[in-house]
A and B are shown apart, each in its own frame.
Chain A
Amino acid sequence: MQEEQIIAGLRAKDRKTTEYLYDKYSRALYAVISRIVFDKDIAEEVFHDAFVKITKKIDRYDESKGRLYTWMANICRNSAIDKLRSKEISQSGKTNTIDDFVYGMESQSGTQEHIDGIGVKELMIELNEDQKFIVEYIYFKGYTHSEVSEEFDIPLGTVKSRVRAAIQVLKKNVARI
């Protein structure tokens, strides 16, 4: 299904299109959430709400501002960040790191998901410390680039160029796998 067809189908509240959307994107979107919200039950709750939000807000999606996936991923990311910063989670005191995430995935023994999933480790392996740090804070802990800059006293331009460099490494690795 082409992206335009998916969008038109979603706008028309078509069940089949919604199912197609779910099948194609649920894994990736859930990944965006679950690397920020570590608790599985809460992550699934956030995913539920975010997915429903996506179908309801589809009229507000503007094609000129990016692909459908990017828009959906940002809704998921923002929902996860909101949840993470709400009292509900911060009291449990859990913080996410790439290592936790990798460990978490590896510990899910014997599940179908584990066999399908390619480890973050393989994708991260070539990131240097600086880049790993940036990816961890921005993609796993849901910091904005200006928050990273302020909190760790890294110039904004440096944050930007490290985000860029890290994604370039990921791009290379994604293409290779």
Chain B
Amino acid sequence: MDIQSYISSGKLELFLLGELTEREREEVIDFAKRYPEIQQELDDLQETMFAFDNMTGVAPSQEVKEKIFSTLESDFILKEAPKPTAIPAEAKVVPISSPWKPFAIAASIAAIVASGAAFYYAGKYEERNNQFTALLQDQSVLADNLNQVNQAYDEKDSQLNEFVAGNFKRVEMRGEGFDMQKDAKVDVLWDQNASKVYVASNNLHDLSEEFDYQLWAIGDNGPVGIGLVNSGEKLTLQQMEAVAQAGAFAITIEPKGGSKAPTMEKLVVLGEVA
């Protein structure tokens, strides 16, 4: 922002005259907080206007001063007067001259007590209301959590059902024979009848942003990409694309998003189907 041109726009002068719209006023206040030069200019202008007014003015007459202070007298008196604790005591001493007085006093006391109670309960109500709102918020957070847990549970449950009911074969893929990651170890679980493939990564190095691990099923027609393996999710089962026929599985490092054909120089693990 060009602070100098903002200062010289004349907006600050109008701000001081109270002639800006609410939105523009807030803008000036905001800028003054953020830019010391603008605050400084506002201070200078206000100093100037006061000096100008003070220098060119004449003092109002003494009568006006007296009149003003006599108008304000009642405000000062209210402030300076001792606390009116004497009133109830006085009420006891004064003989009851007319029948409405005790009722009036009783009514006043009742009114005071009632107002006090009203304030007290209004305070209580406010407090309870806040607590209630907080509890509602907590509850909705808990409900969300429960939902997530339920979904995760359903997923695991259906996976477990598949494993119990299906006929999964475990294919161990290892990195020992290759240069990329000697200690890499990933298992493929394959149910040939149902064509389902899961992969569980035991040990895979983290990759930089630009690369992905890609799983290949190598069959009679050569390698087919069947999905990307998340190296972060260790020892969890990741479902891959369906494969009905394969002699071996392998993982290569490919540019992010995967490739159509494997980059053989970046073969990480390979496992033959027994």
Using a CB–CB cutoff of 8 Å, the interface residues on chain A facing chain B are 12-15, 18-19, 22, 26-32, 34-35, 44, 47-48, 51-52, 55-56, 64-67, 69-70, 73-74, 77-78, 105, 108, 111-114, 116-120, 123, 138, 144-146, 157, 159-164, 167, 170-171, 174, 177
Contacts and interface: CB of A to CB of B under 8 A. Distances in A.
| Majority secondary structure, B binding face | helix
B1 interface: no
Contacts of A74: 17-18
Query: B11, B46, B54: which has the most chain A beta carbons within 10 Å?
Result: B54
B46 A164 contact: no
A132 B49 CA distance: 16
Contact of A13 (B18, B48, B79): B79
Nearest to A170: B52
11 contacts: A18-B72, A27-B53, A27-B59, A44-B64, A67-B46, A138-B17, A144-B17, A145-B19, A163-B10, A164-B13, A167-B49
Contacts of B52: 123, 170, 174
Contact of B11 (A118, A146, A160): A160
A31 B57 contact: yes
- The 8 A-B residue pairs with the shortest CB-CB distance, nearest first, are A31-B57, A160-B10, A113-B58, A28-B53, A164-B10, A28-B54, A13-B79, A171-B48
Contacts of A117: 55-58
Interface string B72-110: 100110111000000000000000000000000000000
A30 B60 contact: yes
